[in-house]
Amino acid sequence: MTDPALRVRLGPLELANPIVTASGTFGYGLEFTDFVDLSELGALCTKGLSLRPHAGNVPPRICETPAGMLNAIGLQNVGVEAFLAEKLPRLRTLGATVIANVWGDTEEEYVAVVEALQDAEGLAAIELNISCPNVEKGRMLFGNSPTATASLVSRVRAATRSTLIVKLSPNAPDLVESARAARDTGADVLSLVNTFVGMAIDPVTARPRLSFGTGGLSGPAIKPLAVRMVFQVARALPGVPLMGIGGISDLSDVLEFLAAGASAVQIGTANFRDPGVSGRLVKELAVYCADRGTAVSSLVGRAQRIGTGGEAGAEG
């Protein structure tokens, strides 16, 4: 079932619908097959893949916070080789549109992972995680300085013909500058935002609730921040295809991000609470469009056209 009203185009990436599941919240997709028909999603983003298997952080790794959660999983993953051998073939059989999320500790590692994925059949795109705030060495820098972002993205761009998505960090000092750097050096699509660095402390013991100390905040708590950031980047860089991410749990959230300027959205933490939510949102969006005789593409950026009373970023 593909509904032409739901089709979206993000640069070279065409998706049957704009509902994508976010990296780190959807495993390798295979964990969800009891709850979602993977072939009905716009795409799924895999757990962040590294050159070698990675064990991740010691527990406690997660902690609930008001309307969301903190995580410091530490990028546990099976490694790109096992992904290609064990996961991707099954995802292809299930008809999933797959976006491989990739990370490394150095530019060389990113390039090596991307090269390993180069000849894999059935990958729709590669998404670079330049923004995971959880592992110490170096990676904070890729997303947090436009220079480091530009250097990494151009290296990766030179190494692959695949559609390249760069996932931006909301912790960057100037998100628009980071977005511009990624676009100028070869990103086809920008996804935003990754988690916000946060912290929770046990009030009795005064210890951080996560063993890592800090963690990435996600869930509905970050939604207004993420909407503002999508709106801001869409306004500053018109024409750059965006995937909006941040606390999306229901249809109205999807519509809000589309209106802000995202051509597609990623569903993240909501997958934990409600593993069937992504498939349901595809159906609800189809009903919404049919009822109004509209197409998703015409819902994108409506808020940009209407404008705001003031500049995004005003703190009132």
Q: How far apart are CA 274 and CA 272, in angstroms?
A: 6
Q: Is 11 in the site for other proteins (CB under 8 A)?
A: no
Segment interacting with other proteins, rule: CB under 8 A, options 4-12, 38-46, 58-66, 133-141: 58-66
Quote the tokens at residue 91. 């995802």
Q: Closest separation between CB of residue 83 and other proteins, Å? A: 15
Site for other proteins in 103-142 (CB under 8 A): none
Q: Which of 274, 283, 284, 312 binds other proteins (CB under 8 A)?
A: 274
Instruction: Decide: 128 and 167 in contact? Cβ < 8 Å.
Output: yes
285 alpha carbon, distance to own chain's centre: 20
Q: Which of 71, 134, 232, 266 binds other proteins (CB under 8 A)?
A: 71
Q: Is 76 in the site for other proteins (CB under 8 A)?
A: yes
Query: Of 191, 192, 186, 180, which is closest to residue 237 (Cα–Cα)?
Result: 180
Q: How far apart are CA 84 and CA 117, in angstroms?
A: 8
Segment interacting with other proteins, rule: CB under 8 A, options 83-91, 115-123, 273-281, 296-304: 273-281
CB-wise, 169 or 271, nearer to other proteins?
271
Q: How far apart are CA 101 and CA 46, in angstroms?
A: 6
Residue 152: how many other CB atoms lie within 10 Å = 25
Size, binding site for other proteins by CB under 8 A = 34
Q: Closest separation between CB of residue 265 and other proteins, Å? A: 18
Respond yes or no: is residue 132 known to be catalytic: yes
Burial 18-34 (b: 16+ CB within 10 A, else e): bbbbbbbbbbbbeebee
Q: Closest separation between CB of residue 27 and other proteins, Å? A: 4
- DSSP character at residue 299: G
Q: Which of 1, 59, 138, 292 binds other proteins (CB under 8 A)?
A: 59
Q: How far apart are CA 225 and CA 45, in angstroms?
A: 22
- For tokens 């498939």, name the residue: 279
Q: Is 272 in the site for other proteins (CB under 8 A)?
A: yes
Mask of contacts with other proteins, 196-225, x by CB under 8 A?
-----------------------xx-----
Mask of contacts with other proteins, 276-305, x by CB under 8 A?
x-----------------------------
Q: How far apart are CA 57 and CA 53, in angstroms?
A: 13
Q: How far apart are CA 166 and CA 131, in angstroms?
A: 9
CB-wise, 73 or 172, nearer to other proteins?
73
Segment interacting with other proteins, rule: CB under 8 A, options 112-120, 178-186, 264-272, 305-313: 264-272
CB-wise, 76 or 304, nearer to other proteins?
76
Instruction: Decide: 301 and 232 in contact? Cβ < 8 Å.
Output: no
The angle subtended at Cα 95 by Cα 111 and Cα 286, nearest 5°, is 110
Segment interacting with other proteins, rule: CB under 8 A, options 26-34, 119-127, 144-152, 158-166: 26-34
Q: Is the peptide bond before 111 cis (omega within 30 degrees of 0)?
A: no
Q: Is 35 in the site for other proteins (CB under 8 A)?
A: yes
The catalytic site residues sit at 132
**Residues of the shown chain interacting with other proteins in the complex, contacts defined by CB under 8 A:** 24-27, 31-32, 34-35, 55-56, 58-69, 71, 73, 76, 219-220, 269, 271-276
